[in-house]
Structure 1
Amino acid sequence: MGSIANADDARPQAVSVSLQELKDGTVSLETLEQAFGPASLGIILVRDLPENFAQLRREVLSLSSYLANLPEEELAKLENPQAKYNVGWSCGKETLADGRFDTLKGSYYANPIHDAALEAKARELYPSVVEMTSPNVWPAETVLPGFERKFEALCRLIVDVAALVARSCDRYGVAKLDGYKAGTLEEIVRSSVSTKARLLHYFPPPASTSASAPSAAEEKPDDDWCATHTDLGALTGLTSQMFVDETLHSPSLSSSSADPKPLEELPAHPDPKAGLWIRDRAGRTTQVHIPRDSLAFQTGLALQLITRGELRAVPHFVRGGREEGEGKVARNTLAVFTQPNLWVPVEEGKDFAKLAEEVISKGVSGG
């Protein structure tokens, strides 16, 4: 059942289940522990997704390149510094492990779950948590046709699948934890207006300025595309990464008002080590490949607290490519962070708003 991009059998494996198994409730507690338990990689792959997933994924991830290559004046309209850049467009505002500002990726944040009453409650109870309660800022339809419609459609699909993963986690919680309330995580995933989606565009690495090989001190850090971190929420839904050679397939928009054409996708990055890596409990790093026809779901800090550590979040990072030649390979992906409503307690004396404040103040978020 498991699959992982590593030949060392002693390491934890990334477990794969079908969507139908989740719907039927037949994923075993042992499988859930292998996916999310104390000795796990904290990730599960879900295959056999709805028929429209593949096309939506390709269209939305292509839109990430189109968005990131909009004129600066259009991107500026999508920035929201008051919301600490956790709404709309952001580039160069986040810090990496060594303290440098991260200019190698741009991202677009939006809240994909809408409920007017719950959104009003969040703004009333937590007026200072603007990074969670500010309204979405969408590109104009005339600037990037189809963006809002397709983005929200893919996010809703991911949230629907995440709810089924959460339902299985609830079965595990009921079986393993005294007093665990059935339906806790599924309710969070299905109804929370704090859920946030992040569409990411990792720019092609800048060309080397030196013809000689870098010294050991100059070697790029492993987490140069996204610093090592642990996700904040309950379950993070991840698409597989899309690699695009922007030299061959330019993400520039024509004057036509039609939806942008999906970009041609490379089979893989020229550097096979580029992409998502997870650090396990023993400190070992394992690369995880998400198949194009699957979704992955990672555990976050809120889920770890709610399940009293029975299901564990794990640190992970994104390693940039070490490219040769003239290509300009970019990486696009989508992460949907399903998160409790701000007032939901994640442990005694701490609601999700307080947990979010603590994590966001550190300046590192997922990707």
Structure 2
Amino acid sequence: MSSSGEADKRPQTVSVSLTELKDSSVSLDTLEEAFGPASLGIIIVRDLPERFVELRKRLLSYSSYFANLPAEELAKVEKPEAKYDVGWSCGKETLANGRYDTLKGSYYAQPIHDTELEAKARRLYPNVPEMTSPNTWPTEDVLPGFEKLFEDLCRLIVDTAALVARNCDRYGVAKLDGYREGTLEHIVRTSVCTKARLLHYFPPPPSPATEEVEARPDSAMAFDDDWCATHHDLGALTGLTSQMFVDEGIHTPHATPDESGLLPSLPELDSHPDANAGLWIKDRSGRKTLVQIPRDCLAFQTGEALQLITKGKFKAVPHYVRGAAAGKAGQIARNTLAVFTQPNLWEKVDEERDFARLAQVTIDNAL
């Protein structure tokens, strides 16, 4: 286990190996340190399969290629009837100040497939198209190999999430009255409502407003919510890759396939010029911590469904993605992948609500 402590005793980031997860040897204390009431609600998993590094770099490069497609190609994979929660979405969400978020593009797909369960979801919940609509993929001539690449990486992330869930189930059985063994692992492995989101944060245009903020002495925190408003995740465990920073001013995201038949991986910056850009988590005391995920690791973050399933023993934490300060943004884009493992729509998250009800309220509030 590794951590980064500070003099103010703020919560630490917890790291475990894939082998520890497979062996179910992660201690209950470690799980509580990662996900409990005083935690950051996130765990780093290291020592992943070798193919992960290449899959991550390829798919996150595709995020730049995708977001820079012509408008007519992007329109082909939009699904307004699914509230833009399937396929391409840009400029449909609002930030903390109420303005529409045009600095972030998203591609959504559901990577877990089971024909019978998908049919059941559509039959029981005909009015939840954002969770039951079939995926829509860009064609092979537009983004060659994208669908397979996307699903291969998502499957690896879901398989790893299931191991995290198995260890969380050990905690539930030991600490919670009436907790059923295998509850969370079953959700992660079988739910057809798990949703993946490939994200592209566009290089932000400079503006007088951002330049004015940069000049203020508190500018290190002035750009909270610039890229993604503060929120809790909806599902159980959210799998996160490390962020990829690409200087699109130098490496234009337009290319032809290489010898593999895929579009080439884009050169990746070691870090963003603005050290404060990236994923921030607010702990229970309201303090903010910038979380760094190594490129060869995955992180798993707690969501609202997990908090409800564990009766509050594991907490969903508020977090946001902060943009770069004026003068430091340049033409640098940020790409990442989030996989939200979520219960099937009919599965109960507490004594009164199934996941469909929880999801509907959350999505409606976001629009």
Name the TM-score class by shorter chain. over 0.9
Counterpart-to-counterpart distance in 2, 1:46 and 1:212? 38
Aligned partner letter, 1:64:
S
Counterpart-to-counterpart distance in 1, 2:93 and 2:343? 23
* 1:176-325 correspondence runs (5 A): 176-209=175-208, 213-214=212-213, 221-254=223-256, 258-324=261-327
Q: Percent identity?
A: 69
1:2 paired residue number? 2
Counterpart-to-counterpart distance in 2, 1:169 and 1:313? 14
* 1:124-139 correspondence runs (5 A): 124-139=123-138
1:340 paired residue number? 343
Question: CA contact under 8 A between 2:108 and 2:197: conserved in structure 1?
Answer: yes
Q: C-alpha displacement at 1:3, in angstroms?
A: 2.4
1:49 paired residue number? 48
Change (3 A) 1:113 1:212: closer
Aligned partner letter, 1:173:
G
1:72 paired residue number? 71
Counterpart-to-counterpart distance in 1, 2:359 and 2:329? 42
Q: C-alpha displacement at 1:323, in angstroms?
A: 4.7
Change (3 A) 1:140 1:57: same
Q: Secondary structure, in 3 states, of the residue corresponding to 1:361?
A: helix
Aligned partner letter, 1:342:
L
Q: C-alpha displacement at 1:362, in angstroms?
A: 1.6
2:356 paired residue number? 353
Question: CA contact under 8 A between 2:281 and 2:290: conserved in structure 1?
Answer: yes
Counterpart-to-counterpart distance in 2, 1:212 and 1:137? 40
Counterpart-to-counterpart distance in 2, 1:162 and 1:13? 20
Q: Secondary structure, in 3 states, of the residue corresponding to 1:121?
A: helix
Question: CA contact under 8 A between 1:270 and 1:323: conserved in structure 2?
Answer: no
2:109 paired residue number? 110
Counterpart-to-counterpart distance in 2, 1:84 and 1:210? 31
Q: Secondary structure, in 3 states, of the residue corresponding to 1:99?
A: coil
- Which segments of 5 or more consecutive residues in structure 2 lack a partner in the other structure? none
Change (3 A) 1:211 1:158: closer
Q: TM-score, normalised by structure 2?
A: 0.95
Aligned partner letter, 2:248:
E
- Which segments of 5 or more consecutive residues in structure 1 lack a partner in the other structure? none
Counterpart-to-counterpart distance in 2, 1:286 and 1:210? 25
Q: Secondary structure, in 3 states, of the residue corresponding to 2:366?
A: coil
Q: C-alpha displacement at 1:255, in angstroms?
A: 8.2
Question: CA contact under 8 A between 2:68 and 2:253: conserved in structure 1?
Answer: yes
Q: C-alpha displacement at 1:209, in angstroms?
A: 4.6
Q: TM-score, normalised by structure 1?
A: 0.95
Question: CA contact under 8 A between 1:246 and 1:327: conserved in structure 2?
Answer: no
Change (3 A) 1:322 1:308: same
Describe the superposition over 1:107-127 as per-residue Cα deviations: whole angstroms up to 9, x where unpaired: 000000000000000000000
| Stretch deviating more after TM superposition (210-219 or 28-37) | 210-219
Counterpart-to-counterpart distance in 2, 1:35 and 1:325? 32
Q: C-alpha displacement at 1:254, in angstroms?
A: 3.4
Counterpart-to-counterpart distance in 1, 2:63 and 2:237? 22
